[in-house]
Amino acid sequence: MSSQEGWSTTAPTYSSNVGRTSALSAVRLSELAHNLSPVSSTSKILDNGAGTGAVTLHLASQFPSAHILATDISASMLENISAAKLPNVATQVLDARSLSKELQPETFTHAFNTFMLQTITTPSSAIREMHTVLAPAGVIGIALWAQRNGPFEIWERACQSLDPSYTLPAPFDDPHAWRTREELERALKEVGFMGIEMEDVTMPFPFEGTKKFVEFWFGAKNPAAEKCMSNWNGDWEKVRTAVERVCREEFADGREIYTWAVLGLGRKQVDGNGDK
């Protein structure tokens, strides 16, 4: 299954599970970007790899006169944004790695990418494309899933309770996908962004009971979860029971699950004169 097909499959349930948690980082990332360069009625904002719209919907609610373009490789993901019928928000199906084929260079005052770079094998190309379409002094804001992740930990502990030799696979197609602040900071600097700011964020990812978590993990068809489960060769009924036990006993019946994120921001240079 291609990346586009995988995310299209999970789109109907994304907002109600992963989306509600990633929205917390989107809010914080938006706040930090606004502090660097205030959003106004003249702002042109790109939400690159927008998914179901965590960044777009938050910014549109806070700054309704700003102009926002939400792009994603999956049309199904963008349906949630289109359904909101926001007056200054447009959507467009685009590959994050080839924005400049469709968008004018030096157009946007702000460009965001939340939790998408880890789903592609050439994340630097996406950051480079965002740099191209940003105006001089424009602000970039990136969010990545960090190395720790509550749902992944539940799955790993459950599997290891049945098979102590079990090792969790990389949850993304690229086994070397960035998951640390050092990797993201280095990537932003290599493309040419200045004044880099980094922040770690902890996000609650609670469920209304173990049953709801199990339904999400096994039924949402989230590509990252599917990747984690791909190397389990044991009994599926037993591992499902083990997941239920770990969630119930070690994660307060699903109420104390957390995920972690890395946020990175920077500015595009102005005429080669640094970050003035």
Q: What's the DSSP call for residue 51?
A: T
pLDDT at res. 9: 55
Q: Which residues pair with 44 in a beta bridge?
A: 67
Q: What are phi and psi for residue 136, nearest 5 degrees?
A: -55, 135
For 174-232, what is each residue's pLDDT tens digit?
Answer: 888 999 999 999 999 999 999 999 999 999 999 999 999 999 999 988 888 999 999 99
The predicted-structure confidence for 129-143, as pLDDT tens digits, reads as follows 999 999 999 999 999
Ranges in the chain, pLDDT < 50: 1-4, 6-7, 272-276
Closest to 60 (Cα-Cα) out of 24, 92, 86: 86
> What is the per-residue pLDDT for 256?
96
> In 68-135, which ranges are continuous DSSP H helix?
75-84, 123-133
pLDDT of residue 13: 52
Residue linked to tokens 């199906």: 93
Question: Could you tell me what percent of the chain has a pLDDT over 90?
Answer: 80
* pLDDT at residue 16 in the model: 58
> Could you tell me which of 172, 106, 179 has the C-alpha nearest to residue 142?
179
pTM of the model: 0.89
- Predicted local distance difference test score (pLDDT) of residue 111: 98
- Report pLDDT for 273: 44
Q: In what order do the strands lie in the sheet with 134-149?
A: 89-93, 67-72, 44-48, 108-114, 134-149, 258-267, 194-204
Report residue 212 as tokens: 């709801």
Strand residue runs (E) in 38-193:
44-48, 67-72, 89-93, 108-114, 134-149
pLDDT at 10: 53
Q: Any bridge partners for residue 72, and if so which?
A: 93
> Looking at residue 5, what is its pLDDT?
53
